[in-house]
């Protein structure tokens, strides 16, 4: 955007609802031995949406409910066996965009603590950003 003076207009501050450190149980891994049992992943999820109505009304139904975000992420994680963190993060992001029509962007970070075959690494992971209307 440009202003009448020809300069760029500042972007409005992004409103976000987020969860950090959500523990997801999933059967995930490239090898069969990794997928043999569920393991804990740590997830951070942020959803960008206009929260001005909730800020004015002070009503839960006018925001993005943390409990629903948590429930959907847990449901997706446990819904099947996954090979890659990327696939699980993608599905969580897409489900949340579907669940919350006001959401414009979803960021999902997944961390696998102490990934196998990688001594000296505390965690490995991915961050995916998905925007409404962007293929």
The span from the CA of 129 to the CA of 90, in Å, is 9
Task: Look up 112 and say whether it is catalytic.
Answer: yes
Phi/psi of residue 105, each to 5°?
-155, 140
Beta bridge pairs of residue 111: 42, 125
Tell me the C-alpha to C-alpha distance, in Å, between residue 90 and each of 51, 110, 118. 24, 10, 24
The span from the CA of 126 to the CA of 111, in Å, is 7
The label of the residue with tokens 């959500």 reads 22
Among 29, 43, 77, 112, the one annotated catalytic: 112
**Catalytic (active-site) positions:** 112
């Amino acid at each position: 955007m440009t202003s009448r003076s020809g300069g760029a207009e500042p972007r409005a501050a992004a409103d976000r609802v987020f969860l950090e450190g959500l523990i997801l149980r999933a059967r995930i891994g490239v090898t069969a031995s990794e997928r043999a049992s569920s393991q804990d992943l740590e997830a951070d999820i942020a959803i960008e949406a206009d929260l001005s109505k909730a800020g004015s009304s002070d009503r839960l139904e006018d925001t993005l409910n943390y409990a629903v975000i948590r429930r959907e992420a847990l449901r997706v994680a446990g819904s099947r066996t996954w090979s890659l963190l990327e696939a699980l993060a993608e599905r969580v992001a897409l489900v949340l965009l579907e669940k919350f029509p006001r959401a414009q962007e979803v960021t999902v970070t997944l961390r696998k603590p102490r990934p196998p075959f990688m001594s000296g690494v505390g965690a490995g992971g991915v961050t995916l950003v998905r925007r409404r209307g962007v293929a």
